[in-house]
Amino acid sequence: MENCAKLTNMVQETTFDNGVRVVTQQVPGMHTVSIGVWVSNGARCEQPSEHGVAHFIEHLLFKGTHRRTARQITREIDSLGGVLNAFTSYEYVCYYAKALARTLPQVVDILADMFLHSTFPADEIEKERKVVLQEIKMRDDAPEESIHDRLHQSFWKGHPLGQPILGTDQIIGSITRDTILEFRNHWYRPSEILIAAAGGVEHHALVELLQEAFSCLQPGEPRRGLQTNSRVSAGRVLELCERDLEQTLICLGTVGLPTSSPERYSLMVLNAILGGGMSSRLFEEIREKRGLAYSVYSYVSSFADAGTLSIYAGSERERSCEAVTIILEEMSRLRDEAVPLDELEAAREQIKGKILMSLESSDSYMSRLARSYLNFGRYQPLDEIMAGFDAVTADDLQQLATRLFRDETLNIQVMGKVDPHCFTEKSKLIAL
């Protein structure tokens, strides 16, 4: 076992001989601890015949081990006053728990047991298959969610990033236990595992709790290659989906940046100005001034090698073309005009304030710590992050907008009671 030197802000790291990493951040005065087992894989690791398997496995790890039934897992964590949950993204899966610091040994025992010793019983697979299929139906029945899936599928056409994380009912309905176990055994390898903990935690005590369980993991076969970078679809895309909805939903996307891009701070500020809050340009123009939409916002999705910037709005059918026009006008304005200094400073302070306010719980600390190591291979001190935002200039934003807001990378999805003639005609007039 290799012990790394102590880092700043009470952050410490230990790497087991097999490659499993343990990182902790001790937060003075905090009586809770959050611990997460992160695996550097996710939906983008799946083959076409496996879509949805990473998320399916996330469900199944709660369904019993050699020592505990599914019911015993939930009852034991409840008896500690803790919470136990998990989530799947495109690039990692996380199993996490939060509880009082004094219960950490029991929490680690439960978390390690389910992560390492789940038995995947056939009857539980069939039960959970029905649950996941219902989850897929819920997604498909929720237009505010499914339109984002349509955007990703169109934008990342032919790429794993375009596939829904939940999978499809056809694949989930037929996927076998052997396929599930093969995926789990291949991707849940020591070199892909990061265990992060934050709050009232002592590093060496946690390492002792984890070492026996996790150091026995074997490296396994070489990792399968990933399909990387690449937006397969090219050229402006405008797709209309007729559905009987009260509103017309609009989702618009263009290229973004990879997670570790040196320009990531500029992108976050650009997003905040465009549609990242109630003082953003889109919110003020579309909702406050014109009353075109109740909900309008933009967001950034970043991955190891690529990314997107997306905008969502829900509008009346008769005014949906107007809403799209305004969105594109605001994107063009960011490209053509320098952002005023006061607006830039306000956006920077908004982002910095949100980051600082989020660090009021152990789970927030744990998540930020893990993502820092997963995305950058090291801990990023808050001072470094704040300095990154402070360094963003109006010229940086304009140059970035010029690169990203291009007609040939624009994808527009419209869902609802759509007037095809209106959008077909207007789309020729609203090119960036």
- Active-site annotation, residues: 58
H or E, element range at 197: strand 193-199
DSSP E strands, 60-139: 83-88, 93-100
CB within 8 Å of 368: residues ≥ 6 apart = 358, 359
Contact status, residue 95 vs residue 37, Cβ threshold 8 Å: yes
Amino acid sitting at position 285: E
Q: What does the DSSP 8-state code read for residue 6?
A: P
Q: Are 268 and 351 in contact (CB under 8 A)?
A: yes
In the Cβ-directed half-sphere of 44, how many Cα atoms lie within 13 Å?
24
- CA pair distance 324, 251, nearest whole angstrom: 9
